[in-house]
Structure formats: C-alpha cells, structure tokens
Amino acid sequence: MNANDAKARIEQLTKELNKHNHLYYVESNPEISDYDFDMLLKELQELEEKFPDLASPVSPTKRVGGDITKKFETVVHRYPMLSLSNTYSQEEIQDWVTRISKVAEGDLEFVCELKYDGVAIGIQYLNGVLHQAVTRGDGSQGENVTTNVKTIRTIPLNLQGDFPEDFEIRGEIFFPLDNFNKLNEARRADGEPEFANPRNTASGTLKMQDSQVVASRGLDCFLYGIYGTSLENGHFETVQRAADWGFKVPKTQARYIEKTNTLEGVMDFINHWDQERSNLPFEIDGVVIKVNDYAQQEELGFTAKSPRWAIAYKFKAERVQTTLETVSYQVGRTGAITPVANLKPVQLGGTTVKRASLHNADQIEKLDLHLLDQVYVEKGGEIIPKIVGVNVDEREPQAERVVFIERCPECATELVRTEGEAQHYCPNDIGCPPQIKGKIEHFIGRKALNIDGLGAETVDALVDVNLIENYADLYDLTFDQVVELERMADKSANNLIAGIEASKQIPFEKVLFGLGIRFVGETVAKKLAKHFKNIDALIAADFDTLLTVDEIGEKIANSIVAFFLEEENKTLIGRLKSAGLQFEIEEKEGGSNKLEGKSFVVSGVFNAFSRPELKEAIEMNGGKNVGSISKKTDFLVAGDKMGPAKLQKATDLGVTIISEDEFIAMLNGD
Ligand code: IVH
C-alpha cells in the first residue's frame, strides 16, 4: 500500500472507529461486534506503525494507551477553575434563592445537576480536535494529563456537527463503581492492598505515567460546563447541545439533570437523589443548583472563590455511632496484615454493620482508637464501611489504647514493616498457615494453574491433615491419599488427581503468575514470560536487567529478586519442573494474538480441520476453548452434524455462531 492509499484508509478507519466508539460508550447502542471493532482498530494500528508520519495525535489508537508521561507539565487555566459554595440544609438553599432573586433581574430558572464525586478536568478543543486536558490543580494552574484523558472512551477525540472553533469543556472524571470493584478484586487476587475509595483512585489513576494502565482501569466522565462560547442563552441548552458534538452529558430521562423554575422543583430533585443515590452506578456527594440564564449569571457574578449563580447541596454521609468491641487482624496470602474493627452490630444504609476495615497501623494511630470507644461509622462507595472518627466525649477514662500487634496472630512470628510502606507483614511465608493456604489457593486459581476439582475447602483440608504444605506437594498427591479425606468420594478424588495432571500443560506465563511473587500479577507475569522466555533466564536476571523490561519498575524488580534469593522458592520450582510443569514459552509457528480474550465452543464435524486441530488453532492464536455454551461465550464454531439443542442454546444466549470458513477468515484477519 502506498502512502496515499494508507492516508485514505487511515482517515476512513478513524471515522468508523470514532463512530462505533461513540455508539458503544456514549449511546450504549453498538452496531458492530467487539470483535469487528478490534479488527478495525488493529488494522489502524498496523497502518500507523507502517506509516508513523500519518498517525494523528488524536487517533482512536490512543484509547488503548501506551504513551508514557514522565512528568506532567503545568498549564495555566484560561478561565480559573473555581469551587462551589456548599450548603447542608434546605433552608440554606432557600436563603440562597431569596438572596439572588433580589439581585438578578426577571424570573429565575434553575438547573439541578448531580455533584459527581471525582476529579475536575478542563478539556480544550481546537477546531473540533481534543487539544489538551488539564486538572484543576490549585484553581489557577493544573497539570497537563492529556495522554491519559485520551484513553477515556466517553471523551471524544474528534467532534462532530456544528461545534465552536475554540472552547473549553469542564467535567468530572470518576471511577464507575463496577470498574472500581473489579480493580479491587484483581488486586486482592494479586495479593496487593485494595484501594480505599473510588474518588482518590480516580485521581491517582489520572496521574499515572503509563497511559495503558489508565486505559485498562475504565474511568468515565460527565461534563457540566462550557467556557469560551455562547451559542445558546442558557447553561442547560448548551450542555444538551454538547451531546450533538459527541459528548456524554447527563440525561434528563434518568433525572441526572433537570430544569425547574420553582423552589419546590429544586427540593424535589434534592430529595429524590438523597433517597436514590445509593442506586447510582457511580458516587455523588450532593447536587449542584445553577442559574440557567447566562445573562443572569453575569449579573450575579462571583465571589473570590466561587460563582454566586451556583451552589452545592451536600448530602449528609450516612453515619452512625456504635461501640468498638475488639480489633482483630487478618493475614493475607502475601502475609499482609489488615486490622479489622469488630463493632457492636448497627444498622447503616439498609444493612447491619458488624465490621469495619482499619486499613493499617497509621489509620489506628490517626483515629487514636481506644477499646470500647464510641466510633462513627460511614458508608461510602467502599464495600466495607469505615470508621471516620471517635466520639471522645464518651470515652471511659481507663480505656485501653489500641496498639498494633507485634507478632503474627497465626504463627507468632515477629511482624515487619518496610520503611515507606503502610502495611505490616508476617515474613514467615513458608510456615504461616493462612499464607500457606493462600499461596496454594492462588496457585490453583482460574487465572493460574486452573486446577479443576480442587477448591479452597479441599486445600484447607489437605493442609490441615498435613498432606501438603506448599504447591509443589500437590504433584506428589495420590488417589489413595486424597480419597481418605472427609466427604471425598471416589469420583471427586479422581477428578482432583486428573485436574492436577492436566495443569502440567498450563502455559509458562500462568505458572509464573501462580508462583505468587509479590506484585507479579497476571499482566506482569505475561510480560516477564514473553521477555525471558524461560524460568532460568528470569532467575538469572539481576535487578538492573529486570528494570529494562517494559513496565517493570523498582518495586516489582526488588520483589522478584527477593523471591528467587530464597532457596526454598528455588527448591519448589525445581520440584514443579521435575513434575513436568511448563517453565518455558512454547514458541509455536503460525501463532498470533488475533483471538486474544475471546472464548470459543467448537462443535460438530469440520472439513479443513479436525476438531482437536481447530481447538489448537484457537489456543495458538490467543483464544480460549470452553466446554459448554454460556452467556460469556463469544463464538460457537458450528460444524456439520451439530446437535440442534446446542444451536438453540447459542441463539437464545445471543452467542455469535460462525462457520468453519468464517473462523478461517477470522484467523486470516479478514
Ligand atoms: S460546576 C465554578 N457542576 O465540584 C465551579 N461542579 O466544588 C463550577 N463538581 O471542582 C463547577 N459535579 O469538580 C459543577 N455538576 C457539577 C459538578 C461539579 C461535581 C465538582 C467540580 C468542582 C467542585 C466544586
């Protein structure tokens, strides 16, 4: 392909990808499958690699990230980023309305909006192209986080329709609760401490150096103000108009935004969201009331810090007082110690609360906790409620201070705390029962060795009867030993042994993840496997060599070096190797990652492939074979003589059914 053809194709792909991105993320109304979208994106990526001069800084390929920002430059805001004055009662809102009614001429019309709990962002567009995105900072200057903002799918890179030439749009970047919870689940699985709340995590994410990580986290954005243009007379109309240019703006149908000309209308909006906010898929901390008419806004003007034409109403956080009965300490798979407050049960936000996370020793110190304290408990977006303060007036004079434990509650080993880290750890990783069990559970997990027929309960039982004390011991287990366990039938014992046997075929990267090296999650394990190709090369790598690997920083490198310095770990690996596990990458010819992330069910008889060959082709190209059809299956490859029941099930569940020819076309990238 010559440069001219490439240019035309890049333009066409860009247009299509932008359109489908908008349909999917902003309109929630996709027209093409994820697979087809990925294929278009891949084509664009390849063309941009071949013709780098033709790659636009606002190409849809920027959505997946990859660019690194070493230092975020400071940018002065064209229009200062002010804050809102806060109110906490409906009387204060009423006073505000009375006050401004005296100043502004004519009847007032109000726009009621949600107060999104995230990070403010100002995004400048020049001639319909995203130019730069800047954080609030101190209000007069912020940080240029454009590269990271480009990965947020609901923020358009190119505008459509009749947009102003040069304007700034402001909004709030936030972490949707679903994505936040998923991130914490993954961190739990990787043995990393969980993030405390969505807002701080959104803020931290936005300032990460690696935009690929930002892209993977799934931030979102709502827009609430436009500066530098006055196409319409009012705020509400301007915001709605921004939807025509491709922005995600709050919807009136969902009552995310509302226009009213009465105080009752404003109060109704406040009351509605005070009740309903816990059902939103993101966090809000109040509502914002704004005067709609721009001329009236101008009349009202600003104080030094905030506009007089707008006011925030902050919800009272749901807070209750209860007694702190005891503090207990949990030991995680990596030995991390988490203090937990055991509370006198109390009702909060519709559930009974008995426990609250205390995170770490600093938190206990900050709260200056004493046993039997009356503590205030609040529920934010977190899964577990938190203690936000102590009612010191009700503290007994002889109350005993909570002092962080010095020894592991499970194995009595002295705890350690590395400088600069918030968490205490139990260093006895090979002798501490929850660490032993946790490590084995991690090893057998779905994303690691995926051992069918073995669950957490069985691991507990096997450890308790001293049949295993590490993951290498699994490979010495016999049917006769296992069948002796309580409630273990012949069939289950057989399945367990067969599952262990099958795990010997699991690829190196998953085995590496399964070893449970601190900070080596799924993605890092993949990167390491790809780079070093086998375990011996990885063991031989020193700190500096590790740092040369993409995305490996000092923290991970240190952890890897420390892991392999322990003789015990090397012995375990030696035993796993002898058992026949995969410790090197299998370089297969004809492999690709074209089917990465897709799951397939193969059924029937085929012409070009035998069934096992077809399954192998799926694996070799990064796809996954699954046994039976479910909602999560991406494709059913249907051959001849396939049973009608399977076909029906796939149709009912909306699974895409493809023929052998279509599958081959997929592999060929058509
Ligand atoms: S309007 C002049 N509308 O709240 C200030 N702000 O304390 C104009 N926020 O920094 C801001 N939702 O980050 C506005 N619907 C909304 C908002 C909102 C959240 C945040 C924003 C701002 C802070 C003000």
Q: What is the 3-state secondary structure (H, E, C) of 482-530?
A: HHCCCCCCHHHHHHHHHHHHHHHHCCHHHHHHHCCCCCCCHHHHHHHHH
Distance 171 CA to ligand 1 centre (A): 7
Shortest CA distance to 500 belongs to which of 523, 516, 476, 521?
476
pLDDT attached to residue 380: 61
Q: Is 288 in the pocket of ligand 1 (CB under 6 A)?
A: yes
Helices 433-444 + 456-464 axis angle, to 10: 140
**What residues contact 40, with CB distance under 8 A and at least 6 apart?**
13, 16, 17, 20
Give the distance, in angstroms, between the CA of residue 143 and the centroid of all CA atoms in the same chain: 23
Domains along the sequence of the chain with CATH: 3-64 (1.10.287.610), 76-314 (3.30.470.30), 319-394 (2.40.50.140), 433-505 (1.10.150.20), 508-579 (1.10.150.20), 599-668 (3.40.50.10190)
For ligand 1, whether the C-beta of 291 sits within 6 Å is: no
List pLDDT tens digits, range 318-332: 789 999 999 999 998
Strand blocks (E) in 520-607 = 599-603
Query: What is the reported pLDDT for 620?
Result: 83
The three-point CA angle 618-620-623 to 5° equals: 45
Instruction: State if residue 249 touches ligand 1 by the CB under 6 angstroms criterion.
Output: no
What is the predicted pLDDT for the residue at 278? 81
Ligand 1 centroid–CA 550 distance in Å is 38
Amino acid 9: pLDDT? 95
Tell me how far apart the alpha carbons of residues 341 and 452 are, in angstroms, rounded to a whole number. Answer: 36
* Residue 128 backbone class (left: φ over 0; alpha: ψ -120 to 50; beta: rest): left
Residue 588 is predicted with a pLDDT of 63
The CA distance from 234 to 291, in Å, is 9
Decide: 113 in ligand 1 pocket, CB within 6 A.
Answer: yes
> In angstroms, rounded to a whole number, what is the distance separating the alpha carbons of residues 515 and 636?
33
Whether 189 and 215 have beta carbons less than 8 Å apart is answered as no
Please choose from 284, 288, 298 the residue to mutate so as to test ligand 1's pocket, defined by most ligand atoms within 8 A of CB: 288
Is 172 touching ligand 1 by the criterion CB < 6 Å? yes
CA 115 to ligand 1 center in whole angstroms: 7
The best mutation among 84, 85, 199, 255 to test binding of ligand 1, ranked by most ligand atoms within 8 Å of the C-beta, falls on: 84
**Rounded to two decimals, what is the model's pTM?**
0.63
Judge if the beta carbon of residue 120 lies within 6 A of ligand 1. Answer: yes
Q: Residue 457: enclosing H or E segment and its boundaries?
A: helix 456-464
Alpha carbons 606 and 643: distance in angstroms, whole number: 14
Q: Is 366 a catalytic residue?
A: no
Looking at the DSSP assignment, which residues form a beta bridge with residue 258? 112
97 close to 274: Cβ distance less than 8 angstroms: no
- pLDDT of 142 reads 94
Instruction: State which residues of the chain have pLDDT below 70.
Output: 191, 349-350, 380-383, 587-590, 670
The torsion angles phi and psi of 476, rounded to 5 degrees, stand at -100, -5
Give Cα 551 distance to the centre of its chain.
18
Residue 316 CB contacts under 8 Å (≥ 6 apart), including other chains: 88
Q: Which of 115, 437, 439, 598 is catalytic?
A: 115
Distance (angstroms) between ligand 1 centre and the Cα of 312 equals 8
